[in-house]
Amino acid sequence: MNATPPRVLTIAGSDSGGGAGIQADLRTFFACGVHGMTAVTAVTVQNSLGVSGVSTIPPEVVAAQIEAVADDIGVLAAKTGMLATAEIIAAVAKACDKVHIGREGRIPFVVDPVAASMHGDQLLRDDAMSALRTELFPRATIVTPNLDEVRLLTGITVRDLAGARAAARALHALGPQWALVKGGHMHDDPECVDLLYDGETFLELPAARVDTVHTHGGGDTMASSITAALARGMDVPAAVRFGKAFVTRAVRHAYPLGGGVGPVSAFWRLAPEEER
């Protein structure tokens, strides 16, 4: 018999264009050699030009997906993406407690507080941001906001490393074990410095900025590669270094798609060594 690979769960929305969301997560899980499972929260009608419709899944169906896979298959690490509504967030929090996902239950839990697409399409209702803060952040092993999400969550506009440190402190105070402030949206900075904080120590993770507009699904790819690494038993700093290296290569291999913004590409992992 073949060995069962590590099993991971994404709780997120579908992107019909295949660039971000559940589709990016599954591609990343595949490239990382882990078995990906899904609890779908919403179906977006989407192409490379943007989102033209959203249909949310009933909260009890989201919870049932989480419980079904956890009870039978088992989950070694989980992540969240687009959660859409406060009702879905409440159902996710309850289901995760039931199956021991999250810091109390000890199954690593990556909370990526997805608020909007790159085009500015809203993926989380206004009233749901506070539910994310109060219901999911205290359960998270790590939260992974970009700078737009940092501003919505904390009110802090990050312009430099000192601002990123203040934001990391404010995020950590909301209850996660670790906060990762991603610097990718600081567009005039030639480096994309991410800042990782556990309440005591700041770890700076720089990477050269890649000149491309095709970064759709970048945040999802980073959070899902961190999740895969945690499922493989890495500690949080090692998993974040792995995720940062994974997404940097994925941005370097991003490709055009349709008439708008193309996705980052987990395909780099399939390329010959010299082309990575």
User: Contact between 28 and ligand PXL (CB under 6 A)?
Assistant: no
3-state SS, one letter per residue, for the chain: CCCCCCEEEEEEEEECCCCCHHHHHHHHHHHCCCEEEEEEEEEEEEECCEEEEEEECCHHHHHHHHHHHHHHCCCCEEEECCCECHHHHHHHHHHHHHCCEECCCCECEEECCCCECCCCCECECCCHHHHHHHHHHHHCCEECCCHHHHHHHHCCCCCCHHHHHHHHHHHHCCCCCEEEECCCCCCCCCECCEEEECCCCEEEECCECCCCCCCECHHHHHHHHHHHHHHCCCCHHHHHHHHHHHHHHHHHCCCCCCCCCCECCHHHHHCCHHHC
User: Contact between 38 and ligand PXL (CB under 6 A)?
Assistant: no
In whole angstroms, the minimum distance from the beta carbon of 260 to ligand PXL comes to 11
Q: Which of 174-182, 193-201, 216-224, 242-250 is the region at the interface with ligand PXL (rule: CB under 6 A)?
A: 216-224
In whole angstroms, the minimum distance from the beta carbon of 117 to ligand PXL comes to 3
Let me know: does 220 contact 210? Beta carbons within 8 Å. no
User: Contact between 25 and ligand PXL (CB under 6 A)?
Assistant: no
Binder of ligand PXL out of 9, 10, 11, 15 (CB under 6 A): 15
84: left (phi over 0), alpha (psi -120 to 50) or beta: left
In whole angstroms, the minimum distance from the beta carbon of 20 to ligand PXL comes to 4
Q: Which residue number is nearest to ligand PXL in terms of Cβ?
A: 21
Select 186 or 261, whichever has its Cβ closest to ligand PXL: 261
Binder of ligand PXL out of 117, 141, 146, 177 (CB under 6 A): 117
User: Contact between 82 and ligand PXL (CB under 6 A)?
Assistant: yes
Select 113 or 232, whichever has its Cβ closest to ligand PXL: 113
Let me know: does 134 contact 89? Beta carbons within 8 Å. no
Binder of ligand PXL out of 38, 44, 144, 154 (CB under 6 A): 44
User: Contact between 219 and ligand PXL (CB under 6 A)?
Assistant: yes
9: left (phi over 0), alpha (psi -120 to 50) or beta: beta
Select 21 or 183, whichever has its Cβ closest to ligand PXL: 21
Binder of ligand PXL out of 36, 145, 217, 262 (CB under 6 A): 217
Q: Which of 11-19, 96-104, 146-154, 187-195 is the region at the interface with ligand PXL (rule: CB under 6 A)?
A: 11-19
Binder of ligand PXL out of 8, 9, 11, 12 (CB under 6 A): 12
User: Contact between 149 and ligand PXL (CB under 6 A)?
Assistant: no
Q: Which residue ranges make up the site for ligand PXL (CB under 6 A)?
A: 12-13, 15, 20-21, 44, 46, 81-82, 114, 117, 123, 217, 219-220
